Structure 1
Amino acid sequence: MTWDALLDEWALIEADLHQVYGIDAESGVLHDRTWRWLRLRIMGLLSTECRTNRRFNPPESGQKRGR
């Protein structure tokens, strides 16, 4: 997985930032934060039950993910 691949899914990331962390990306908060701050949160989404995680870590065939 590359940052290009991740950022191609920005709509999922943006929705998950709001759902998981309460971050409204349209509020301008990203202008006040460092790349490191955003990177850590995006990486956190990859280990949280959310859209971004399901996109990049789909369940194995025949298995369902629990909530």
Structure 2
Amino acid sequence: MYGIDVGTAVLRDRSWRWLKIRILGLLSTESRLARHFAPPDAPARNQGLSARPQGRTGRAP
């Protein structure tokens, strides 16, 4: 598991560069942090089109 223990005093002994590298590593791998900040999936092309009701023949009125 790749993580950062922020509850201990380990961060006081580390530099900002160390923390930045760890955060960038978490963002570049499959992690909860990466999933949280990932852009949403691209919408389907036809998603914005409204569906028209169809009659018995299957054709739009």
TM (norm. structure 1) is 0.53
**1:20 Cα offset (Å):** 0.9
- The residue that corresponds to 1:56 in the other structure is 37
Which of 1 and 2 has higher RCO (CA within 8 Å, sep 6+)? 1
TM (norm. structure 2) is 0.58
Unaligned runs of 5+ in 2: 44-61
Whichever residue aligns with residue 36 of structure 2, its letter is R
RMSD of aligned residue pairs (Cα, Å): 1.9
Whichever residue aligns with residue 31 of structure 1, its letter is R
Distance 1:58-1:51 versus aligned 2 partners, 3 A rule: farther
Q: What SS class does the counterpart of residue 39 from structure 1 fall into?
A: helix
Whichever residue aligns with residue 49 of structure 1, its letter is E
Matched pairs, number: 43
Runs of 4 or more off by more than 6 Å in structure 1?
none
The higher radius of gyration belongs to: 2
Give the fraction of aligned pairs with identical amino acids, expressed as a percent. 53
Unaligned runs of 5+ in 1: 1-18, 63-67
